[in-house]
Chain A
Amino acid sequence: MEKKGISFGKRPGNPMIKRVWKDIWRDRKRYFMILLMLVSTIGFVSGMYVANNSMLGTLEENVTQLKRESGHFQLSEKADAETLSAIATGELADVVAIYRERAYSEAEDEIKKAVDEALEEEVDSQVRSAITEQVEKAVDEQLEAAKKMGQPVSDEVRQSAIDDALETAMSENYDKAYKDAIKEAEDSEEYIKAIDEAREKAHEEIDRKIDEKYTELADRYGLDEKFDAVPVTVYELFYKDVEEKKSSGAEESTIRVYPQRKDVDLYDLLKGRAPENGDEIIIDRMHADNAKIKLGDKISAGNAEFEVVGLAAFVDYSALYESNTDTMFDSLTFDIAMTTDEGFERIRGNTRANYAYTYNRAPADEYEEKEMADHFLKALITQVAASDNEELEIKDYVPAYANQAMTFAENDMGKDKAMGGVLLYILTAVLAFIFAVTISTTLEKESSVIGTLRASGYTKGELLRYYMSAPLMVVIVAAIIGNILGYTLFKGVIVDMYYSSYSLPAYKTIWTPEAFVKTTIVPIVLMLIINFVVIVRTLKLSPLRFLRNDLKRSKRKKAMRLPKWKFFGRFRMRVFLQNIPNYLMLFVGITFVMLLLSMAVGMPETLSYYQDNMGDSMFAKDQIILSTTEDDDGVTITTDNAEAERFSMTALERKDDNYNEEITVCGVEKNSRYIKLSRGYYENADDNSVYISQAYADKYNVRKGDTIVLSEKYEHKEYSWKVYDIYDYTAGITVFMPNESFNRVFEKDEKDFSGYMSNSKITDIDEEYIANEITEEDMLKIARQLDQSMGAYMVYFQYVCIIVAAIILYLLTKIIIEKNERAISMTKILGYDNKEIASLYLIPTAIVVFVSEFITIYLGFKLMNFFWKIMMMSMSGWFEFIMPFSGYVKEFVMVFAAYLIITVIDFLRIRRIPKVLALKNAE
């Protein structure tokens, strides 16, 4: 029933879409801030994922390409070929049989000796009496003939004649007769029978003893457990640890030099070439960077000088761990190097009999790898025990999966990824909430428009889509730009960061779908959900409520009664009450910033605290562990250093589901000047009670009187001790006991010891006998390395935190002022000046920021402490997260400074609000 003369048009496109662009343009500052934050976080995290994945991919590829070992073990000395091939079979040696055989063969000598001694005595007397009898008979016959011829023979003459003849006969006939007799006797049945009887008796005794000890042996070597042979290929990978010196500088490091690597654990040459003669060497690229060693530089390794011809990343050292038990790697004072075999010979120093092995059949997964490593260890232990060289001992055994030098970098990158992801999500959530609060304010502001649109027939879905558009667009644009930056700019930044911590090979960029999903899909979904919930909650209200500007959920009609403050105070209180949701957001935002700041400020503080105090907390400035306590001539190694004191040291393991930590057990001399255990302890304590270090007590929550259980690393042997007291030592997880107890507990000789410690450097012990030297430098490793790889970033991170704080404050205070624009305009009309208005609207925020800061500084510290503990639990050693008072002040000032900048902006914003605004229509 159309009327004539009406012309119809086409249905236009959704005008609300046009409006989205206009909205974004109108609020460009806010959107820009949010975009900036999202782009930088998404970019950074995406860069981290890409760098991580590319690097991890390359590392993984190198495992096969550069023939990385499946593990290595170190023996006390070079093993013979037979032992090595026995080890390579991966079979258990029949230790019981070998023990038996050894005992038998030892017994065999004894038996033969005993029987032979008896036989010899017997034969000797028989031969002697036979000869004597013969001689007497011959002499008597001669004398009888003489008597017949009339010569008188006295008894003396006879005796003298016999003696003379006997002497001659003995010297002429005894040996032959004795030999013949012995030969005859040995062939006799009696002799064989005697030997057999004696042997039988001895074997019975040995069998009885071995049976008695079987349980102990089976337990120690795990002989009764399930076992599958793990055949491996064993490679000699000997090295020498010597002092490295740059010819020009005085920087001292330890350099671990290997001879030419050919078949296992190869390297990626990043610069230069491989060594070609005995004067050339290649060293680790990371250490070279840190120690400022360049190609062509001369360095000395111990006594020998080399020219650096190449910088490399060794596949078995992506993190420069000197020992697998070190708390932290150390690329500053530890170096890996390779020269030719000839060059290796030139270096004087203790050659470590280190062997790498590879499984002949690769494990299917990490569980199988662990099982294989366990089985191979058993095989190794038994084969070493079974070796002909009874002195041969295992010094070290590290399967690849447990080798920090290989796994730390990978794990750390993994952790970075997880951390980055969490940061991204927290920040996205904070931003999404800011968006939501913004939108919620917009909804309030546009309440009547929304009411009109709803009344005209716009559906909730249409309005929802419209209000969701801007946040979505911003996050999508941010994700696109962020990902582009991630693949270009940030990837480089992160990779540089990794290169400055780890000895990594050259990498190839790998397209990383994970990065895309986590940095794009997740933030978008997060933004979607949070905004969806807020908008839907509001849009649920009826159009009429929108038309009436009545969007308050609570039905509280009456204003809250306020105490009888002055007008300004009450006004501010009203502003505060009106903005509680915004202030809550502000609080969450500041908590987030404070957590980040806690890390940014606390980390360097903690590290510098430990750098300053670690030296003081060492027992003695110099500690030397000997490889043997006797020199080549069997004389006990001593030192003339007057302050030196003997101590014992061994390592046990504290087993845990998550992480097995190596614990140092220290045997201390009575009345030690370096480790002062109480006198009462020496007098009263038995072998079952020990001191533990403060660090031990802190990390594992152990108290005086508790019982600790530690186990041998490579054997199934457990020790349990009662904690006598806590020793104030925070630099290591250590157990202390008197040296005598130590020797009894670990079944050592009464006078045994491991090394010397002294406050002055011990210089008179030949390097050949030194297994390890612990100096202050070693203790500082962890702090220094963390400082080196993270310290510099922490300062930047502090600035980032201030910026994040400023942006969050900017966004939230903007909302508060926008909400009150008309009221502010009205107060201007009423005659309030800008300062008064600012004091009304800005002081409540200042107070909230101030109070929030106090609470969140503490909250941030607590949160950080919590994360720190988790981190420490997954690595060896312990140090507490420390935040000095000055650190809190710094955090406070930083955030407040950010607030002050924003306040200036807010003040300008208030000044710009026109008076006519209040008089205008609601549009």
Chain B
Amino acid sequence: MSEKERKFLSVSGLKKSFGNGDTKQDVLKGLDFTVAKGEFCVLLGPSGSGKSTLLNILGGIDSADAGEIYIDGDKLEDMDEKGLTRYRRKHLGYVFQMYNLIPNLNVKENIETGAYLSDKPLDIDELLKILGLYEHRHKLPNQLSGGQQQRVSIGRAIVKNPDILLCDEPTGALDYTTSKEILQLIEEVNQKYGNTVIMVTHNEAIKEMADHVIKLRDGKIRHDIVNTQKTAAADLEW
């Protein structure tokens, strides 16, 4: 792996606070880390630790007060709003805790909303099969279970074959079994398509399946560990 690939994503001196004056609250207090290309990286921490804020900043939908972020050599801070939109369009896929599907589009069409953004999207039918949604492709979101909806949302993010897949508590609203299924899916996607995955979670168990674990507390990095003995998602227990 080249130096460039090792430092595919590099963050240094990242700071962010909300409010001002007495109500000012520092959320990120100077973060430095790198993520390698194709890595499965888990941002772990209790609620309020700043992990979602960090993810949003990495996703270009929130801005930092200080610090630098480089993604594949591009400096995020230099981009204007249009540039950021282009960046998200070209490089990022987003998965949220709430699936945020378009209610009056069916499964396939919802995935197409992602495919439309890429000049070279994945084959949708094949993806549907990988997602286990091929039989449901003509259904509307409200005809699906929560887990199925989250699969659609992952499909929508992954179909454009993004460099980075950002997942914000993707299993937060799901039960144990479904959560595991979703994690397996993300793992599969990561392995098959080689996207860099950055996943925010407060579930300690999930760190076992990651290549790289960054633990946050009070806006600081407490641990930055490379996990050499990964457990398959299917074998996770919590």
- Report Cα–Cα, A10/B116, bound state, in Å: 9
Chain B residues with CB under 8 A of A448: 96, 98, 100
Chain A residues near B119: list those with CB within 8 A: 11
Q: Does A16 contact B (CB under 8 A)?
A: yes
Contact mask for chain A residues 1-36; partner B; CB cutoff 8 A; 1 contact, 0 none = 101011111111111101100110010000000000
The answer to whether A15 touches B109, judged by C-beta atoms less than 8 angstroms apart, is yes
A456 to B116, CA, bound (A): 11
A452 to B117, CA, bound (A): 13
Q: Complex Cα distance A1/B104, Å?
A: 36
Contact partner, A3, options B87, B115, B193, Cβ 8 Å: B193
Q: Chain A, 444-461, contact with B by CB distance < 8 Å: what is the 0/1 string? A: 001011011111111110
Q: How far is the CB of B195 from chain A (nearest CB, A)?
A: 10
**Which B10-53 residues sit within 8 Å CB-CB of chain A?**
none
Given contacts A456-B92, A544-B62, A547-B96, contact A12 B116 (CB under 8 A): yes
A455:B112 contact, CB within 8 angstroms: no
A6 and B193 contacting across the interface, CB-CB below 8 Å: yes
- Knowing A7-B126, A15-B116 touch, does A920 contact B193 (C-beta < 8 A)? no
A556 shortest CB reach to chain B, Å: 16
Most B-side CB within 10 Å, residue of A7, A449, A456: A456
Q: Is A656 an interface residue (CB 8 A)?
A: no
Whole-angstrom distance from the CB of A192 to the nearest CB of chain B?
A: 112
Q: Say yes or no for A639: interface residue by CB 8 A criterion.
A: no
Contacts of A6 in B (CB 8 A): 122, 161, 192-193
Chain B contacts for A8, CB-based, 8 A:
120-123, 161
Taking a contact as CB atoms under 8 Å apart, the answer to whether B90 and A921 are in contact is no
A454 close to B61 (CB less than 8 A): yes
User: Which chain A residues border B142 with CB–CB below 8 Å?
Assistant: 920, 923
Min C-beta distance of A744 to chain B, whole Å: 86
State whether the Cβ of A43 lies closer than 8 Å to any Cβ in chain B: no
Chain B residue contacts of A90, Cβ below 8 A: none
Is A543 on the interface with B (CB-CB < 8 A)?
yes
Contacts of B173 in A (CB 8 A): 921
- Sorting the interface of chain B by its residue count into under 10, 10 to 19, 20 to 34 or 35 or more gives 35 or more
What residues on A are CB-neighbors of B102 within 8 Å?
19, 446, 449
A3-B193, A23-B104 as given contacts; A16 in contact with B113, CB under 8 Å: yes
Interface centre among B92, B101, B160 (most CB of A within 10 A): B101
A921 touches B94 (CB 8 A): no
Q: Are A11 and B121 in contact (CB under 8 A)?
A: yes
Chain A residues contacting B105 (CB-CB under 8 Å) are: 15, 18-19, 22
Is A457's CB under 8 angstroms from B86's CB? Answer: yes
How far is it, in angstroms, between the C-alpha of A453 and the C-alpha of B96 when the chains are bound? 11
Given contacts A3-B194, A543-B61, A547-B61, contact A923 B113 (CB under 8 A): no
B89 interfacial contact with A, CB 8 Å: yes
- Contacts A22-B105, A544-B62 given; indicate if A452 touches B96 (C-beta within 8 A): yes
A:446-496 near B, CB below 8 Å? 446, 448-449, 451-460
- Is B114 on the interface with A (CB-CB < 8 A)? yes
CB contact list, A866-923 vs B, under 8 A: 920-923
Contact residues in A for B85 (Cβ distance below 8 Å): 454, 457-460
CA distance A459 to B117 in the complex (A): 10
Among B104, B109, B122, B194, the residue within 8 A (CB) of A9 is B122
Known: A18-B109, A544-B62, A921-B99. A9 touches B123 (CB 8 A): yes
Contact A457 B120 (CB under 8 A): no
B57 to chain A minimum Cβ distance, whole angstroms, is 10
In the assembled complex, B141 has its CB within 8 A of some CB on chain A: yes
B residues 33-87 in Cβ contact with A at 8 Å: 56, 59, 61-62, 82, 85-87
Cα A5 to Cα B93 in complex, Å, equals: 21
A residues within 8 A CB of B161?
6, 8
- The smallest beta-carbon distance between A447 and chain B, in angstroms, is 9
Q: A542 near B: Cβ within 8 Å?
A: yes
Could you tell me if B61 and A923 are in contact, using CB atoms closer than 8 angstroms?
no
A452 and B192 within 8 A (CB): no
- B88: chain A residues within 8 A (beta carbon): 455-457
**Cβ contacts B189-219/A at 8 Å (1 or 0 each):** 0001110000000000000000000000000
* Docked pose: A15 CA to B107 CA in angstroms: 12
Taking a contact as CB atoms closer than 8 A, the residue among A9, A459, A921, A922 that contacts B124 in the complex is: A9
The answer to whether B109 and A455 touch across the interface, beta carbons within 8 angstroms, is no
Assess whether A452 is in contact with B141, with CB atoms less than 8 Å apart: no
**What's the nearest-Cβ distance from chain B to residue A204, in Å?**
99
How many Å lie between the Cα of A19 and that of B114 in the bound state? Answer: 14
Contact with B along A174-196 (1 / 0, CB 8 A): 00000000000000000000000
Interchain CB contact under 8 A, A456 and B114: yes
B89 in contact with A544 (CB, 8 Å): no
Known: A12-B115, A16-B113, A544-B56. A923 touches B103 (CB 8 A): yes
Within the complex, the shortest CB–CB distance from A845 to chain B, in Å, comes to 27
Q: Which residues of B contact A446 (CB under 8 A)?
A: 102
A456-B123 contact, Cβ under 8 Å, with A3-B192, A923-B142? no
CB neighbours of A26 from chain B (8 A): 104
Does B156 sit at the interface, judged by CB under 8 A? yes
Question: Residue-by-residue, is A212-233 near B (CB-CB < 8 Å gives 1, otherwise 0)?
Answer: 0000000000000000000000
Q: Is A7 within 8 A of B104, CB to CB? A: no
B115-154, CB < 8 A from A: 115-126, 141-142, 146, 149, 153
Question: Cβ of B157 < 8 Å from any Cβ of A?
Answer: yes
Among B87, B104, B120, B122, contact of A19 (Cβ-Cβ < 8 Å):
B104
Question: In the complex, what distance in Å separates the CA atom of A460 from the CA atom of B88?
Answer: 13
- A15 contacts B194, C-beta separation under 8 Å: no
Given contacts A15-B105, A547-B61, contact A456 B93 (CB under 8 A): yes
> CA A628 – CA B153 in complex, angstroms?
99
When distances are taken between beta carbons in the complex, the residues of chain B under 8 Å from A452 are: 94, 96, 100, 153
Could you say which of A3, A451, A455, A460 has the most chain B C-beta atoms within 10 Å of its C-beta? A455
Smallest distance from the beta carbon of B175 to chain A beta carbons, Å?
A: 14
Among A14, A16, A452, A460, the one with the most B-chain Cβ atoms within 10 Å of its Cβ is A452
**Distance in angstroms between the alpha carbons of A23 and B59 in the assembled complex:** 29
A457 to B156, CA, bound (A): 12
**A12-B61 contact in complex given A921-B149, A922-B100, C-beta closer than 8 Å:** no
B117 contact from A457, A920, A923, Cβ within 8 A:
A457
Residues of chain A in range 555-573 having any CB-CB distance to chain B below 8 Å: none
Give min CB distance, B189 to chain A, whole Å: 11
A446 to chain B, nearest CB (A): 8
**In the complex, which residues 159-174 of chain B have their Cβ closer than 8 Å to any Cβ of chain A?**
160-161, 173
With a CB–CB cut-off of 8 A, which chain B residues contact A18?
A: 105, 109
When chains A and B are docked, how far (Å) is the Cα of A113 from the Cα of B149?
127
The CB with the most chain A CB atoms within 10 A, among B88, B100, B102, B103, is that of: B100
Structural contact, B192 and A456, CB atoms closer than 8 A = no
Which of B103, B118, B193 has the most chain A CB within a 10 Å cutoff?
A: B103
Chain B residue nearest in CB terms to A543: B61
Complex Cα distance, B96 from A544, in Å, reads 12
| Nearest-Cβ distance from residue B27 to partner chain A, whole angstroms | 13
Min CB–CB distance B103 → chain A (angstroms): 5
Q: A11-B115, A12-B124, A458-B117 are in contact. Are A923 and B92 (CB under 8 A)?
A: no
| B112 engages A15 (CB within 8 Å) | yes
What CA separation (Å) do A136 and B12 show in the bound complex? 166
Q: Is the CB of A13 within 8 A of B116?
A: yes
Name the CB-closest residue of B to A458. Answer: B117
How far is it, in angstroms, between the C-alpha of A923 and the C-alpha of B139 when the chains are bound?
14
**Are the CB atoms of A12 and B112 closer together than 8 Å?**
yes
Given contacts A19-B105, A457-B117, list 8 more A-B pairs with CB under 8 A: A6-B161, A8-B123, A12-B121, A14-B116, A15-B109, A23-B104, A458-B89, A921-B146
The chain B residues found within 8 Å of chain A, CB to CB, are 56, 59, 61-62, 82, 85-90, 92-94, 96, 98-105, 109-110, 112-126, 141-142, 146, 149, 153, 156-157, 160-161, 173, 192-194
Show 9 residue pairs from A and B whose CB-CB distance is below 8 angstroms, ordered by the A residue.
A3-B193, A10-B121, A11-B116, A11-B118, A15-B110, A542-B61, A547-B61, A921-B99, A922-B100
Closest 4 pairs between A and B when the two form their complex, measured CB to CB: A457-B89, A9-B123, A452-B100, A457-B88
